[in-house]
Amino acid sequence: MPYGQPPPPPPDPRHRPPSYPPPQWQPQRPRSGGGAGAIIGGVFGVVALVFVGLVVVGALIKGSRTADPVSPVAVPTFTPFEPSTRSTASPRATDSRPSESTVTPPARRQILNTTLKNNTLYRAGGLPRVNCPVGSPSIYSHSQLKALILKTSKCLDRGWSRIMRAQGMTWHPPGYALTSSRGRGACGDFPSTGSIVPYYCPRNTTIYASTTAMVKGSGNSGGYGQITDWHGGVVSMMAHEYGHHVQQLSGLSDDWWQQTTRSTSRSGKLALSRRFELQATCFGAMFMRSVSASYPVTPARRNTLYYFYSRVGDWPGHPRDHGSPANNNRWFRQGYEKNKTFQCNTWLAPSSSTS
C-alpha cells in the first residue's frame, strides 16, 4: 500500500479452498452365511480349488512360461480433513500404489495457518542468497529505472518463491505496470494526486508505479531522489510493495482486512494499517539483505538505506497509517539484520514499535 494513502479496497482472494475430498473408500464387507447355503458354498469352493489345481498342473506339464504376478488395482484413498475457508494450499498428488499386503494412506494434506500472528509464513526462515548484480543504472532515466525494477523483480521471485513453496504455499509472481508519468490501475490512479508512491493492488496482484513521481516528486511531495540518488532506495521501496504480494499470497492480507472491517474505531483501523505496512517494510529489507553480496549493498550503502528509512513514514499532518519514520527505520533494520520471516511479525510487537 502506498505511503500516505488510505487502504485499498478489500482484497479479492485468488485462492479458493479446495472442495472437500470424498471419504475414504472401503470395500463392502462380505455377509456371513450359515446352514445349507454355507455347506453348498463350501462344496463349490472345494470343486473350484480342485479345478484350479488341475489347470495349474496342466500348465506346468505343457512347459508354458509363468506370467508375472499382477498387483491388485489400487483404489485412490483420501484422508478426510477439516476444510478451511482460508486455506491457500494447493492439492498435491498422492501415490496410491499398494504394497504387497497393505495400502499405505497418503500423507495428511497440510493446512496452512493464514492468521496474522501465527501465519505459516513465519516458519519459512530467511531468504536465500540471490545473485542479482544490477550495475549502475540512473534513477533519472525512465527506461533504465524500469529495466532495473523488472530485473530485480525476478530476483524477488527467486527468493520468495523458494521459501514460500517450501511451506506448501501457492505462489505466482506479481504483475507490473510502470509508466514515466501517471496512469490508472485496478485500485485507482497511480500515483494519487499529490503523491509519489507506487502501490500494490490485491485485486489483480499488480504493482503500479510512476518512475518520474517516485524520483522527482509530485506537487508538494518530494521524490525519493531527494533522499538519495542511489537506485537501492527505489528498489527497496519496490521490495516493500512486493512484501504486500507476499502478504496476499500467505493470507496475511485477508486476515488484516477482516480485522480492519471489524474494527469500530478509526484509531483501531490505523493501528492495524501501521502493523501491516511495517511488516512489508521488514520483508523488503530481507530482500535487500539477500542480494547484498551481488547487488551489491556495501556497508556504506546499507547505512544509506538505514538513513532512507528514517526519512519515510507518517509525518505530522498526514494520516498515521504507515508508522513513524523512526519505526520504519526500526523495522527495516530488523528485516535486514535478522533476515527471518518470524522476525517481521509486527502483530506480536509492542504498540510502541508500531506507532
Contact 146, 211 (CB under 8 A): yes
Whether residue 148 has pLDDT greater than 70: yes
> What's the pLDDT score for residue 193?
80
Q: In this predicted model, what pLDDT tens digit does every residue of 12-49 receive, in sequence order?
A: 333 333 322 332 223 333 344 444 444 334 444 443 44
> What's the pLDDT score for residue 78?
22
> What's the pLDDT score for residue 306?
98
Round to whole Å and give the CA distance between 46 and 178: 82
Whether residue 253 has pLDDT greater than 50: yes
Once rounded to an integer, what is the mean pLDDT over residues 146-160?
98
Lookup: cell for 170? 501457492
Neighbours of 355 (CB within 10 A): 14
> What's the pLDDT score for residue 67?
35
Round to whole Å and give the CA distance between 168 and 157: 16
Q: In which band, very low, low, confident or very high, does the pLDDT at 109 lie, cut at 50, 70 and 90?
A: low
The residue written with cell numbers 511495517 in the block is: 278
> What's the pLDDT score for residue 218?
87
Backbone angles phi, psi at 104, to 5 degrees: -85, 120
Q: In which band, very low, low, confident or very high, does the pLDDT at 182 lie, cut at 50, 70 and 90?
A: confident
Computed over every residue of the chain, the mean pLDDT equals 78
Contact 327, 354 (CB under 8 A): yes
> What's the pLDDT score for residue 1?
54
